[in-house]
Chains A and B, each alone.
Chain A
Amino acid sequence: MNIDSIKNGYVIDHIKAGKGMQIYELLNLNELDCQVAIITNAKSKKTGKKDIIKIDRDIPIDLEKLGFIDHNITVNIVKNDKIIEKRKLNLPEKIVNVVKCNNPRCITSIDNTLDQIFILTDKEKEVYRCRYCEMSLKK
């Protein structure tokens, strides 16, 4: 299978197999009119298989959102056909309006003027809790 290399843009690599579409949707890549390729179940030495997304345009990418979904992802920045930077991601301390609290007793369930805020409360176990009701988030 051949997928053209990209000139200026991103290769989002080491995505956990099966998460590619979720990231595609989260980053609203469907709204772009450039070439975007999603490769699922690509071979990986480390994990057996992985997903990859290639974006042939230099667009702003929300690294916090990406880090929240999977901080093992690598974002390769491509300029003039060459990778000029490999960015490792971190678990963000706070995420805003990425996911919704699904606790029916949470104030956010009735007040849609509120931002959906989650705070990283346990880095080791990757636990996020709703800022309002403190319910943990099931990723």
Chain B
Amino acid sequence: MKHLIDIKDLSVEEINSLIEVAKDIMNHKEKYSHKCDGKILATLFFEPSTRTRLSHESAMLSLGGQVLGFSEASSSSASKGETVADTVRMVGCYSDIIAMRHPKEGAPYVASLKSTVPIINAGDGGHNHPTQTLTDLLTIHCEKGRLENLTIGLCGDLKFGRTVHSLITAMSRYKNIKFVLISPDELKLPDYVKKDVLEKNNMEYVETKDIEEYLGDLDILYMTRVQKERFFNEEDYIRLKDYYILNKEKLKKAKNDLCIMHPLPRVNEISTDVDDDPRACYFKQANYGKYIRMALILKLLEVK
């Protein structure tokens, strides 16, 4: 039985295969609409995340399966002090696969040690969010036609942004990827990611505070939100939250085939006047998220 706890749990071949299946689902939805008849997905969300929960639920419903679960810890037995290990053992009796979101880092890994059904990590604190990374990879593949030979700008909160760390880790396995790391000093990419991933894999990267400096070189611009919940000090959050605002004016310097991505939800970092620009891919990205999760559910349930 396989789980997805960390994007590194999947080989490049497995990721490529998931992307191919997701694309096939997009093109032949009817063919997949009963693949999971009689199967149940449990969504155990110990902290609210409407978007991630709904995309998992929509994925399972589109495969013909059913869903059950809870959307916050207060409506689960965790509020009575039950451990994650006990919760998943119980939920495994009522479902075939579990998608778990938990504010504590490592909780889905703990679940995977005891679960009798596959576990999908749907985000654990500031640690991992592998289905977002799969979504990002599918988006890049669909929009650019490749996962190699790309210059990728990562902008905003590169310190706490787990989607950024996971994306860098995932892309480090593909050829000729260059990163432009755009952030204020306080939110720079942590040294351990630079050393353990970028430098270890001899990947080219530059750091800048100026979003416009390398904008013309980028194939992908991945914007991120400065997340209030990752700050212990509200003053720091208020000072940094609007550091970058991408708007139509700034995009004049960008390539015509730039792909603008954002894991959503956005706050102010992408102006709404960018939404109609053909280079804005963030809503398409959310749509791709459903299809890659459908492919993932099929893989983990070993449905052919």
A111, B105: Cβ atoms under 8 Å? no
Q: Given known contacts A114-B110, A130-B106, is B126 in contact with A105 (CB within 8 Å)? A: yes
Q: Find A109's partner among B83, B104, B124 (CB 8 Å cutoff).
A: B104
Output the nearest chain A residue to B108 by Cβ-Cβ distance: A107
B residues less than 8 Å from A113 (CB atoms) = 83, 85
Does B127 count as interface, using CB distance less than 8 angstroms? yes
How many of chain B's residues touch chain A, expressed as a range? 10 to 19
**Could you tell me the distance between the alpha carbons of A114 and B107 in the complex, rounded to whole angstroms?**
11
B125, A132: Cβ atoms under 8 Å? no
A105, B192: Cβ atoms under 8 Å? no
A108, B192: Cβ atoms under 8 Å? no
Does B84 count as interface, using CB distance less than 8 angstroms? yes
B residues less than 8 Å from A41 (CB atoms) = none
**Could you tell me the distance between the alpha carbons of A131 and B6 in the complex, rounded to whole angstroms?**
12
Output the nearest chain A residue to B85 by Cβ-Cβ distance: A113
Q: Given known contacts A105-B126, A111-B83, A114-B110, is B192 in contact with A132 (CB within 8 Å)? A: no
Q: Given known contacts A105-B125, A105-B126, is B85 in contact with A133 (CB within 8 Å)? A: no
A interface: dominant SS: loop
Least CB distance from A109 to B in Å reads: 7
B residues less than 8 Å from A135 (CB atoms) = 105
A133, B105: Cβ atoms under 8 Å? yes
How many of chain A's residues touch chain B, expressed as a range? 10 to 19
Contact code string A97-117 (vs B, CB < 8 Å = 1, else 0): 000000101111111011000
Does B129 count as interface, using CB distance less than 8 angstroms? no
Least CB distance from A113 to B in Å reads: 6
A108, B106: Cβ atoms under 8 Å? yes
Residue in B85, B102, B106, B196 with the greatest tally of chain A CB atoms within 10 Å: B106
B residues less than 8 Å from A131 (CB atoms) = 106, 109
Q: Find B104's partner among A110, A122, A134, A136 (CB 8 Å cutoff).
A: A110
Q: Given known contacts A111-B84, A113-B83, is B110 in contact with A132 (CB within 8 Å)? A: yes
Within 53-110 of B, Cβ neighbours of A (below 8 Å) are at 83-85, 102-107, 109-110
Output the nearest chain A residue to B104 by Cβ-Cβ distance: A107
B residues less than 8 Å from A109 (CB atoms) = 104
A133, B110: Cβ atoms under 8 Å? no
Within 81-139 of A, Cβ neighbours of B (below 8 Å) are at 103, 105-111, 113-114, 122, 130-136
Q: Given known contacts A132-B105, A133-B105, A136-B192, is B126 in contact with A107 (CB within 8 Å)? A: no
A103, B105: Cβ atoms under 8 Å? yes
B residues less than 8 Å from A136 (CB atoms) = 192
Q: Find A106's partner among B83, B84, B106, B196 (CB 8 Å cutoff).
A: B106
Residue in B103, B104, B110, B125 with the greatest tally of chain A CB atoms within 10 Å: B104
Least CB distance from A134 to B in Å reads: 7
**Could you tell me the distance between the alpha carbons of A19 and B49 in the complex, rounded to whole angstroms?**
47
Least CB distance from A47 to B in Å reads: 28
A107, B85: Cβ atoms under 8 Å? no
Q: Find A133's partner among B83, B84, B106, B196 (CB 8 Å cutoff).
A: B106
A residues less than 8 Å from B84 (CB atoms) = 107, 111
B192, A133: Cβ atoms under 8 Å? no
**Could you tell me the distance between the alpha carbons of A26 and B2 in the complex, rounded to whole angstroms?**
38
A residues less than 8 Å from B110 (CB atoms) = 107, 111, 114, 132
Closest 3 CB pairs of A and B: A132-B106, A133-B105, A107-B104
Q: Which residues of A contact B (CB under 8 A)?
A: 103, 105-111, 113-114, 122, 130-136
Q: Which residues of B contact A (CB under 8 A)?
A: 83-85, 102-107, 109-110, 124-127, 192, 196
* 7 further contact pairs, Cβ within 8 A, besides A106-B104, A134-B106: A105-B103, A106-B105, A107-B84, A107-B105, A109-B104, A113-B85, A133-B104
30 A-B pairs within 8 Å (CB atoms) are namely A103-B105, A105-B104, A105-B105, A105-B125, A105-B126, A106-B104, A106-B105, A106-B106, A107-B102, A107-B105, A107-B106, A107-B109, A108-B106, A109-B104, A111-B85, A111-B104, A113-B83, A113-B85, A114-B110, A130-B106, A131-B109, A132-B105, A132-B107, A132-B109, A132-B110, A133-B104, A133-B125, A134-B105, A134-B127, A136-B192
